[in-house]
Amino acid sequence: MSTEVCGSSLLLSLPDDVLSTVSWSLSPRDLCNLSLCCRDLHDSVASEKIWLTQCEMVGILSAKDLMDWRTGMASYKALCRFLSSIEPLMGIWVHQNPELGNVVYVMPGFVSVVGCRIIPQELGPLGIEDGPILWAPVFEILGDADGTPSFFLHGKKEGIDYFYPGLVKAVDKSCNVLLLEVETKSHKNGYNNLSHSKSFVNHSDQEARKVCKSNSDLSRSRKVFGEPEAKVSFDQLAFCDRRQLLETVMNQVRVKVSSRVAGPLFPRLRDEVNFEEDMAVLSERRSVLMQHCKVGGSQLSGTGSSELLPDPTQLELSKLKKSVDGSSSLQKSINRDDDQVKCGKKKTLGRYLRQSLNQILEKSGFINDSKGMLKNNCSCSVMNKYVKLEEFLQSSDTIGLALHASTKKLSSYRGWPNMHENRFALYKLPMRVPTAEQEYAGLWGGTFGWPPGKPTEDKPGKALFFLLLSYEKSQGQVFLIATKILEGTHYVLHPNGSAMFRVNINEPSADPFPWESDGDLFPVNIQHTFSGEGIANGYGFRYPGSKPGSLYVFQNGQLAFIWKESKSVLTLQRLNLQELLKKGERVPPLQPTDNFSYLTKSYSNVFNGFPNTSTSFSLPRETCS
């Protein structure tokens, strides 16, 4: 096909730099479609400059970081593929339990993204900017040379740090829920919806409908005519089955963390002396982890063994099913209702996968109580609204751990999503970019007391608060709402999602600021004031009251909200969480399922007890009543 026929002569005549500039107006999919027009355009579109431009357009990394990441990829096109797939995951994810904070910040690592849990803490004498922020690793997603993502969950069990390798399902561009799941695989059909595709086409996630008795005839007819059956999703299982199935898989795929992979998860700040050393360690660490994801990869135990392993993210089910069929220990009476309550409290399973799986199948009703027959159909009645475990496992050859970023319809109240309490899930908080009309939107951090962020002799440590500021229109007025997402105290006073204060942007405050200078004896310059109300003890933990107050905006960009009656003051400054974590201090993670989303309600600090000289949880906190 000639260039005149395909209309590509103009594009082919452009220099590479000009063509790269033109590509700013094109998406990766546009470029892939353009490369199909003719052979010459295919070669031109494969230019490294063009795909470097596409990487810059994703907006995750700086130009220098892109060049560093390119050393771990086959091409800038592969790097763009990886960046496009993980870009929707970047930002702040939360869960309502524990009430003190379950904040996970997803940030760039090295050819990877890292989920970091911010630990509730008190500030030391250095304050927010220079004091080490405590954090714990939750998960990593690493990119292979061709841009394929691989998932590693972090967790600690019986005092030992482990990796839990898994797969990444297709990531929705507008994802707002991050789910930890077990995914089934058939040798015939392969994993469902896993992002091993090298295409830039992103398919939206579709919920599989529940399998009910009314669908049994249709399922049989599909088997007869060779049609694929409807996919049973992991979240259709009962919570007890989901928890124990996750723990069973984790117990088998886990890999002990050795010195080869125990290094940093991301480099320190680029201007620090040890940055190049960090990059070398990160590159070696990534090579070891990616080798483990491949079939026949070597062990990570650090023993130097040359023994080859099967794919560590998959568990064979054929032998397990045979052992279940021939097991006489399953032929016993089961009280399903009692078991549902009991198994929700269990934290560990048996030492062997066969025993573990048998327990799950018993409690899910896999074996008929009286006849020992399989129950192949589920019921849509109120008494049995969940899919049986055997329906989830049917037609499967292997199972494995998976990370699923999906889009759900979520209701919210004042910027805080209403969450399911029985899902291993994290929920994304929308981060608003500051604009001229919403200049205070975004993440802020601060403490109670004046001067701001600095300890005093009577209070050597101050609780760190993270607040997400957003705007809301109501009855023709614009309100600024400060939603609490983290509180570094020993026992929480108000739950996450509480509005610490709410002010009317259109209503100036007439109350003067109580102090004339800050902690460095510099004069206080107030730029704006707003009237509003702050949280107060009123109707209990879940339904707090409010009392009048004022928000003050300083000329240096800091904020302070003061309760009118008590004169309590909450001072805030805008945060760059990525930089704070790079200067922060890493602490051990929780157990794997708890580390992903801590589902047990707790009003005390479950993260207490980490040895750190700059942090103390025994000190009294400021109250805002």
Domain termination site, one of 40, 55, 85: 85
Residue 315 lies in a domain: no
* Number of structural domains found in the chain: 2
Polymer length of the chain: 625
Q: Give the whole-angstrom CA distance, residue 381 versus residue 404.
A: 28
The two tokens of residue 575 are 């945060």
Residue 191 lies in a domain: no
Domain termination site, one of 85, 105, 139: 85
User: What mean pLDDT comes out for the span 424-428?
Assistant: 95
pLDDT tens readout for residues 431-474: 888 999 999 999 999 999 888 766 666 666 789 999 999 999 98
The two tokens of residue 574 are 């805008």
pLDDT over 70, % of the chain: 69
Residue 405 lies in a domain: no
Q: DSSP assignment of 389-421, as one string?
A: HHHHHTT-SEEEEEEEEE-----EETTEE---T
Residue 530 lies in a domain: yes
The two tokens of residue 266 are 């991301």
For residue 26, name the pLDDT band (cuts at 50, 70, 90): confident
Residue 280 lies in a domain: no
Residue 150 lies in a domain: no
Could you tell me which residue, 545 or 370, shows the higher pLDDT? Answer: 545
pLDDT at 527: 94
Q: Give the whole-angstrom CA distance, residue 400 versus residue 291.
A: 18
- The domain of 478 spans 431-577
Residue 420 lies in a domain: no
* CATH code (residue 12): 1.20.1280
Torsion of CA 323, 324, 325, 329, to 10 degrees: 110
pLDDT at 74: 94
Does pTM surpass 0.85? no
Kindly report which listed range (34-48, 121-135, 226-240, 429-443) carries the lowest average pLDDT score: 34-48
Query: Alpha helix locations (H) across 265-414?
Result: 275-293, 318-325, 336-343, 353-363, 389-393
pLDDT at 549: 97
3-class DSSP state of 332 = coil
pLDDT tens readout for residues 282-332: 999 999 998 877 643 334 444 334 343 455 566 666 644 544 344 333 333
The two tokens of residue 479 are 């309100």
Domain termination site, one of 36, 54, 85: 85
Which residues fall within 8 angstroms of residue 187, CB to CB, at 6 or more apart?
397
User: What mean pLDDT comes out for the span 8-22?
Assistant: 68
The CA-CA-CA angle for residues 36, 39, 40, to 5°, reads 115
Residue 12 lies in a domain: yes
The CA-CA-CA angle for residues 301, 304, 306, to 5°, reads 105
H helix and E strand count, the chain = 18, 25
